[in-house]
Chains A and B, each alone.
Chain A
Amino acid sequence: MANQKKKMSFEEALAGLEKSADILKKDGTTLEAAIEGFEQGIEYYNYCNDMLNDAKQKIEFFEKKEA
């Protein structure tokens, strides 16, 4: 999971979070499925949140090397 998470894009994690919330809304969701969905959703949330708080922006100007 840790490896997978590194490769996961923000959009994928966000889609995962949205899907998890939907699973819990569906009729006939078993308690087990709901708990699993919930835990995954929280993981997706944490992942999104980590990305959103990774504020280490760099703004730089490229210096052309004169030939």
Chain B
Amino acid sequence: MAVKPIRVSQLNGYIKRVLQSDPLLGNVSVIGEISNLKYHSTGHVYFTMKDEASKISCFLAADNLKNIRYELTDGIEIVANGYIFLYERGGSYSLNVREITIEGIGNLTVAFERLKEKLSKEGLFDEKFKKPIPYFPQKIAVITSETGAAVRDIIKIVKSRNNIVDVLVYPCLVQGPGAADEIAKAIDEVNRLFPEIDTMIVGRGGGSMEELWAFNEEIVARSIFASKIPIISAVGHETDFTISDFVADKRAETPTAAAQMAVPDIAALKEYVKNEKENLIHNMERLIKYIELRVTGSGVDALAASMNHRLMFHAMKVEALQKEIINALYSRLGEWSSRAERLKVSLDALNPRNIMDRGYAAILDGRGKLAGSADGFAVGDSLTAVMKDGNIICEVAEIRREDHGESKEKNEL
């Protein structure tokens, strides 16, 4: 039957209506392997899904990418949920992806390694960003499910070790879609609302890789990295490693181990502090005994000996000085007596009596004064001649001066 020809755009418009009104194609989940993965600068993601026999173009809008819980990579098998969309301009159709899930340990491990590599390159695991876990916290926060085993274990351990630290449990989903978002928000919120918190424990008890997956999501890793409060990551069992573990300041093998790390054992600390005090007292006593020994034992004797020694030394010094002084006095005395002797000889030599022995006399004037010269005498004056054995009273009969002229003149005066 001949039908009236239609334009290309009319045909594509018709196909679009047929495809997009089909209830099955409007909500379809497709299993396939990713290839040709391209992140566009607009934030949208383009890739191809394929199996052994066929392939389909896929489009993931930036808005939906935010909800994807896995780091996508070529070769990984995913389950993509979305709807068929036809681009009228190009006449091609694609799967518009709303959600992606990844199943199986193999595929999950690939996604895990991809994200680990990416964040490691960015430096999120660098040792230099690790904050120390406070040794003696006043308050800790626990971000986990309020009904899980982890919160019970943590509270049990904290209570058994420490009756001082406050614990704030911040409940959140720990598995399933939306869990990562809640965990990330909880970390941000504790930082914002309770900046006084010393340490945060973020984690959950054991489970399958899928159940633990929230702790492998980038959004959680970013929040942990951004946290100002030190974080201990405690996810699953000893053998479970998550991205959270790598980015956290400290990894605990289990929630129980995290509690042990986060709070000190008060009883042990009391014991230790008591021991240190006893040490202090013991050391003090030992020191006092040592000083005592030095003072009472050799101390006093040595002191006495040293005092005696010094006394003797000073006594000897005094004695020597005394001798020196006496010697000096004696020598002075000798000096003085010989000087006196010399003086006596010269005095003897000058004694007028000695001269009188040789016939000299001393003449005294009328007033009894020694007269050394004829001057002053006039005829008729009386004078006394003192001889060695007596005095003779005389009267001047005549004056014969050695120098007549002068004496006459004087007489006239």
Chain A contact residues, CB within 8 Å of chain B: 9-11, 14, 17-18, 20-21, 24-25, 29, 31, 34, 38, 41-42, 45, 48-49, 51-52, 54-62, 64
Contacts and interface: CB of A to CB of B under 8 A. Distances in A.
Interface of B: 135-136, 146, 155, 158-159, 162-171, 266, 269-270, 273, 276-277, 279-280, 283-284, 286-287, 291
User: Is chain B's binding surface mostly helix, strand, loop or mixed?
Assistant: helix
B280 A58 contact: no
Given A24-B283, A38-B280, A41-B280, A58 B167 contact: yes
Contacts, number: 81
Nearest to B279: A21
Given A14-B273, A34-B287, A45-B280, 15 more contacts: A10-B135, A17-B273, A17-B280, A25-B283, A29-B287, A42-B280, A49-B273, A51-B136, A52-B270, A52-B273, A57-B163, A59-B158, A60-B166, A62-B169, A62-B170
A30 B155 CA distance: 49
B276 A34 contact: no
A17 to B, nearest CB: 5
User: Is chain A's binding surface mostly helix, strand, loop or mixed?
Assistant: helix
B164 A54 contact: yes
Contacts of B270: 49, 52
B188 to A, nearest CB: 13
Given A24-B287, A57-B166, A58-B166, A18 B276 contact: yes
B133 to A, nearest CB: 12
B147 to A, nearest CB: 11
B277 A42 contact: yes
B146 A61 contact: yes
Contact of B136 (A10, A20, A34): A10
14 contacts: A11-B135, A14-B273, A24-B280, A24-B283, A24-B287, A25-B283, A52-B269, A55-B163, A55-B164, A57-B167, A59-B159, A60-B167, A60-B168, A61-B146
Contacts of A25: 283
A38 B287 CA distance: 11
Given A10-B135, A56-B164, A60-B169, A45 B276 contact: yes
